[in-house]
Amino acid sequence: MPKKENVFSSWRGWCGRVTSRLVHRGWRAVQRAGAVTAERPGPYRFGRIGVGTRLAFPQGTLFGEPWIELGEHCVIGEQVTLTAGMMPDVDLGPEPVLRIGNGVVLGRGSHVIASVCVEFGDDVFCGPYVYVTSDNHSYDDPDQPIGRQWPRSAPVHIGPGSWLGAGAVILPGARLGRNVVVAAGAVVRGEVPDHAVVAGAPARIIRRWAPDEGWQPPLRTPAPVPIPEDMTVEQLLALAELERERERGRGREREQAGERKLDVAEHGLEREPGAGAS
């Protein structure tokens, strides 16, 4: 049965809708104002922020900014932690500790922790909640709490063009080559060669490109056909409409074939194999 509404309930619903719009509009304004860019660095003094780079608001933990360099046209998602050094206000010397190349994407909630050199090559894409660290707690003394034992540190390098899936963990000393794929949830340590796909904990190579053989093992699906660079938006829309028309034509053909089979069955024109006239 329809619910009975009075003037008061209608007014309350209208107020709720207006309040919701105002809250969302206000939050979008806060996000725009709180984003960190080269032109609007806010309270942070990074060693470098390239043109077109943006750190979304709200930011995660940020310290050691003078030893952090961000390349051009990077996208740093919300709640991303970027730290250089074990703690704030420590002099780390003349060289940058955390270097992020051009066109790098760090997904929401990712953490990059660097007390020694951590380097991202150009065009590295990271899903949400990726964890990259140059430090790991040691366990030399079985009687001491692990969190109180001095960590071991080693540089990390992530090659250009790589893709780190959601929740991937890159441990101290890891060196990823060019165009490496790290599967979601993988834990990577040690060296990974160029053009490899790794998965698991600890991560192992599950596919790799060989110049003389191609992908080994072979890809399960064909590669997508790239869009020509000189194709216009109008041409793309026309191509999409042509593909839809072809699909509709194939659908009509399937319907007609089904109707023919049904007609044959209804009129008894199909015979059992080997059957003849009596």
Distance of CA 45 to the CA centre of its chain: 27
Span between the terminal Cα atoms of the chain, in Å: 65
Distance of CA 221 to the CA centre of its chain: 21
156 contacts 172 by C-beta, under 8 angstroms: yes
> DSSP string spanning 216-248?
ESPPSSPPPPPPPTT--HHHHHHHHHHHHHHHH
- CA distances (Å), origin 240, targets 57, 233, 237, 250: 37, 11, 5, 15
Is 24 designated active site?
Answer: no
Gap between the Cα atoms of 220 and 274, Å rounded: 43
Q: Which residues partner with 198 through β-bridges?
A: 182, 205
Burial (CB < 10 A; 0-12, 13-18, 19+), residue 188, is buried
The active-site residue, picked from 137, 157, 195, 267, is: 137
Q: What are the catalytic residues?
A: 137
